[in-house]
Amino acid sequence: MQGLLPYLINGVSVGGQYALIAIGYTLVYGILRLINFAHGDVFMVAGLIMVYSSATMPIYLSIPLVLVLTVILGFTIERAAYKPLRTAPRMSVMISAIGVSYLIQNLAFYFTGGLPQPVTNPIPWISDNVTLFGESTKRVTLVTPFLTVALVFALVYLINNTKIGMGMRAVSKDFETAQLMGIRINSVISMTFVIGSFLAAVGAMLYFTNYPSVAITSGGMPGLKAFVAAVFGGIGSIPGAVVGAFLIGISEELIKGLGYSTFSDAFTFALLIVVLCVKPTGLFGEKVTDKV
Amino acid sequence: MLKIENLQVAYGGIQALRGIDLEVPDGKIVTLIGANGAGKSTTLRTISGLVKAKAGSITYDGQELLGKPINQILEAGVAQVPEGRRVFANLTVLENLKAGAYLRKDKDGIKKDIQWVYELFPRLEERSWQLAGTLSGGEQQMLAVGRGLMSRPKVLMMDEPSLGLAPLVVQGIFDIIREINKQGVTILLIEQNANMALKTADIAYVLETGRITLSGTGAELLANESVKEAYLGKKRK
């Protein structure tokens, strides 16, 4: 049992990183009913920006730059690829999302020459090694869950207690009536992309601190797993995405700890299939109780 | 005064409105009656800016509303209570009212108007912390009207407020419409319940397949033989 403890701690940390990405999926789905396939790639781009900016400028400039550029990227994707399709069938928007995903990967290929970009200057302090229960790990492992929980609380507060949050909840229920209240749905939708990209950028900085390099496909796996987490928790639900992400992160690491590393990815995707078969609305999914 | 001239609206090739003229003088209750598909909802939705018109004009106090974004039309003082209530089921009653005041920035005024709505509908105050989806149909309609009032409109347009409600509740809704009107809000009401609508209205229009075919005071149309036959279910003797 003692031997599993470091894996558990690692799992909580990985879960936190998944959670930060999963919120982006679930927020956008909650409002647009769209699976934003480009979200994992936004995460990857945030990693690349971190690599380049931290190599050339001091930390107090590079972190804000990563956040700002990633937010601009998310905002631009929505305006350029999804907004023109607002009245189009949902399938068209989804195909557009897949297109954006490939576009971003190819642009990243162009910029990086297809080579993984080494993380030469990881963010100090959180990349320091610390010893925990006799195991050496990076401090980011300990910081991640706390930072994640703090950001989630801030987000839930924003959604439940502010005017823009109320607007988001109204728009998620009924576009047209929200418009009749004078709510500008386009700014509300942009806001969800801004929040989602911001959290993905934070997630990327934490995630890639633990990795030697960022490749153009680096967004794929964490993106997919965060998506599974969002579905597992009930897509559209923020608490669901967070709980789902932590459960998946912990399960994966425990499976590794038990010596079945080969199966840890398979477990996550098997979980997706089981959830879709048994409880498609997920742990905290919207119950359909609309009165006619 | 809300004034509509030669309004034409088409969905694809289908002409929904074939050039209608309509006047809604300040302080009056104006009703638009007609069968399904006559173009009643289209008229309201075009005024609100949800539907684009092909030709014509919609002015409020001389200011052109046609082609303006929805929020500017609301700011000009024209609000709509949509058909089928459409309350935000995932928001509380109080939040629904606040959503109605989304464009306003005067916090004290909003507080006052929430109290005003609660006076009009005491039931809503009792349920202010409940999610709107848990309300009964009649209560949801009250909430939809209250929410519509929260933008402090000069003209409140209502799309079939009696739809799917019990007769007693319908009576209550019409009483409230009169009360709101007495407090200075101009009403443009769309109804299939022609009897109630004509009894309540100062001015009435009959819409048939995209054209206004009759107009007059509510009492005049109530007495009109063809209206009686078509909308009030009375046979000609």
A262 to chain B, any CB pair closer than 8 A? The answer is: no
The owner of tokens 């809000």 is: B185
CB contacts, 8 Å: B75 with chain A:
182
Q: Do B88 and A183 touch (CB under 8 A)?
A: no
B48 to chain A, any CB pair closer than 8 A? The answer is: yes
A186 to chain B, any CB pair closer than 8 A? The answer is: no
How far apart are the C-alpha atoms of A174 and A184, rounded to whole Å? 12
- Quote ipTM for the complex: 0.91
Mean of the pLDDT values across residues A116-128? 84
Q: Do B89 and A290 touch (CB under 8 A)?
A: yes
Tokens of B197: 């609508």
Cβ atoms B206, B218 nearer than 8 A = no
B219 to chain A, closest Cα gap in Å: 32
Res A233 pLDDT > 60: yes
Q: Do B86 and A184 touch (CB under 8 A)?
A: no
Res A267 pLDDT > 90: yes
B80 to chain A, any CB pair closer than 8 A? The answer is: yes
The interface residues of chain B toward chain A in range 106-165, judged by CB-CB distance below 8 A, are: 133, 137, 140, 147, 151
The per-residue pLDDT for range A268-283, each reduced to its tens digit, is 999 999 999 999 898 8
* Nearest beta carbon to residue A291 from set B91, B98, B133: B133
B166 to chain A, any CB pair closer than 8 A? The answer is: no
Confidence of residue A291 (pLDDT cuts 50, 70, 90): very low
A145 to chain B, any CB pair closer than 8 A? The answer is: no
Res A12 pLDDT > 60: yes
pLDDT by 10s per residue, chain B, length 237:
999 999 999 998 889 999 999 999 999 999 999 888 889 999 999 999 999 999 999 999 999 999 999 999 999 999 999 999 999 999 999 999 999 999 999 999 999 999 999 999 999 999 999 999 999 999 999 999 999 999 999 999 999 999 889 988 999 999 999 999 999 999 999 998 888 999 999 999 999 999 999 999 999 998 888 888 888 777 655
Confidence of residue A290 (pLDDT cuts 50, 70, 90): very low
Q: Do B102 and A290 touch (CB under 8 A)?
A: no
pTM, 2 dp: 0.90
Q: Do B99 and A178 touch (CB under 8 A)?
A: yes
Q: Do B102 and A169 touch (CB under 8 A)?
A: no
The per-residue pLDDT for range A57-67, each reduced to its tens digit, is 998 999 999 99
Cross-strand partners of B188 = B30, B157
Chain A CA closest to residue B103: A182
A264 to chain B, any CB pair closer than 8 A? The answer is: no
A180 to chain B, closest Cα gap in Å: 7
How far apart are the C-alpha atoms of B192 and B32, rounded to whole Å? 9
B216 to chain A, any CB pair closer than 8 A? The answer is: no
Higher-confidence residue: B195 or A1? B195
Mean of the pLDDT values across residues A233-254? 94
Tokens of A69: 């550029």
Q: Do A180 and B80 touch (CB under 8 A)?
A: yes
Helices within chain A (DSSP H only): 5-32, 39-56, 59-77, 90-112, 140-161, 163-173, 175-180, 185-209, 220-233, 238-257, 264-278
Reported residue count of chain B is 237
CB atoms within 10 A of CB B160: 22
Mean of the pLDDT values across residues A209-221? 91
Q: Do B151 and A181 touch (CB under 8 A)?
A: yes
Reported residue count of chain A is 292
Cβ atoms B49, B68 nearer than 8 A = yes
Interface test with B, best of A162, A163, A180 (most B CBs within 10 A): A180
Confidence of residue A1 (pLDDT cuts 50, 70, 90): low
* Nearest beta carbon to residue A166 from set B50, B74, B98: B98
A177 to chain B, closest Cα gap in Å: 7
